[in-house]
Amino acid sequence: MKIKFWGVRGSIATPGESTTRYGGNTSCTELHLDDDNLLILDAGTGIRNLGNALAERNGRVKAYILITHPHWDHIQGFPFFKPAFVEGNEITIIGPEARGVTLAELIAEQMNKIYFPVKLSELQARINFMPLKEDTVKVFDAKVTSFFVNHPGFTLGYRISYGGKSLAYISDNEPYTRETASLFSNGEPDVLKLFENYDGDPNKRVIDAIRGADVLIHDSTYTPEQYADHIGWGHSHYLHTLKVAAEAGVKKLFLFHYDPVMDDDSLDEVMDRCRKEMKRQNYGFTLEAAKEGKEFEF
Ligand SMILES: [Zn+2]
């Protein structure tokens, strides 16, 4: 498998001089199982550049886009994804539905003529929808397992297994403790119940789903100090991210989905603090920060 990051930011795109090294586009990661089989993890603003790169390669595009949830930073780039405008291409969007809103409606509504000049039904590529809850499905020759994470609405994490390797992708996820559970007021009650009813540490629900993965890409929105003011917003601080990676026994962790206030220098400092923590705790995995343009093969 080969991944390439096209957008690593959470919430809103943050272009400008202070974010050039890590990147300012919102969530989008390209995943090639092999040369022909393309999966795309989320359709934040980063998907625009990916689409342009695919258009330059000039072949027919058959791809699956795995959406974690329909917040803007995960779908807003889709209307600018060039391959969707080309006849003969086929794009299948996989993702959760909201209560009372289908997956197709979630994508179509942001292309309602009030917000965007081209409607979903006017795209030339064939667009399919595959709504998902917690399940395991086949995508090309990969096994894709989805599981709910602790984030407002129905938000999925994914584990993609192929050729004896696996990638876990959790873009948005907050530590769940029974003491702070009352503060998750934006959470979907059905999802919160799954955490509440999990035996022992509720975070094990996510950790068990990604156990032993070769690569984990995980929400690392805040510092622990910032998190103290953002409990219930649905995101992790880096100490929790490191702990999830260690307890799940993954081989490699990419920090991901940075808060818009985190400029390049702040993220350098986060990496320094993470390396110190890993030494202190004797964590065994390798650590990198996701950066726009970074590729990794495993
Ligand atoms: Zn997000």
pLDDT(271) > 80: yes
The Å distance, Cα 169 to ligand 1 centre, comes to: 12
pLDDT at 58: 79
Mean pLDDT of 17-28: 98
Distance 155 CA to ligand 1 centre (A): 10
Residue 128 belongs to a domain with what CATH number? Answer: 3.60.15.10
Side chain identity at 21, as an amino acid letter?
Answer: R
Half-sphere exposure of 224 (CA within 13 A, CB side): 8
pLDDT beyond 80 at 162: yes
Go through the chain and tell me how many residues it has. 298
* Residue 35 reports pLDDT greater than 80: no
Nearest alpha-carbon partner for 46 in 64, 22, 17: 22
Q: How far is the CA of 71 from the centre of ligand 1 (A)?
A: 6
Total count of domains within the chain: 1
How far from 101 is each of 8, 109, 131, 153, 277, CA to CA, in Å? Answer: 27, 10, 11, 12, 42
**pLDDT band at residue 36, thresholds of 50, 70 and 90?**
confident
Give the distance (Å) from ligand 1 centre to CA of residue 124. Answer: 28
Residues 6+ apart with CB under 8 A from 50: 4, 6, 28, 30, 40, 81
pLDDT of residue 200: 95
- Parallel, antiparallel, or unpaired for β 156-162 and 295-297? unpaired
E strand or H helix at 63: strand 62-66
- How far does residue 11's CA lie from ligand 1's centre (Å)? 5
- Tell me which residue has tokens 């032993």: 212
3-state helix, strand, coil in the chain (%, to 5): 30, 30, 45
Instruction: Give the percent of the chain with pLDDT over 70.
Output: 100
Domain ranges, residue 36: 2-297
Mean per-residue pLDDT, 183-209: 95
> pLDDT tens across 198-214, in order?
999 999 999 999 999 99
Confidence of residue 289 (pLDDT cuts 50, 70, 90): very high
Taking the C-alpha atoms of residue 145 and residue 209, their distance in angstroms, rounded to an integer, is 8
pLDDT, tens digit, 9 for 90 and up, residues 66-97: 999 999 999 999 999 999 999 999 999 999 99
Q: Distance, CA 171 to ligand 1 centroid (Å)?
A: 6
Output the CA 76–ligand 1 centroid distance in Å: 11
Q: At what angle are helices 264-281 and 238-248 packed, to 10 degrees? A: 40
Q: How far is the CA of 87 from the centre of ligand 1 (A)?
A: 30
Q: How far is CA 33 from CA 4, 93, 101, in A?
A: 12, 17, 31
For the beta sheet containing 28-32, the strands, ordered from the edge strand earlier in sequence to the opposite edge, are 126-131, 90-95, 62-66, 38-41, 28-32, 2-7, 295-297
The mean pLDDT of the chain is: 97
Ligand 1 centroid–CA 98 distance in Å is 16
Residue 34 binned pLDDT confidence (cut-offs 50, 70, 90): confident
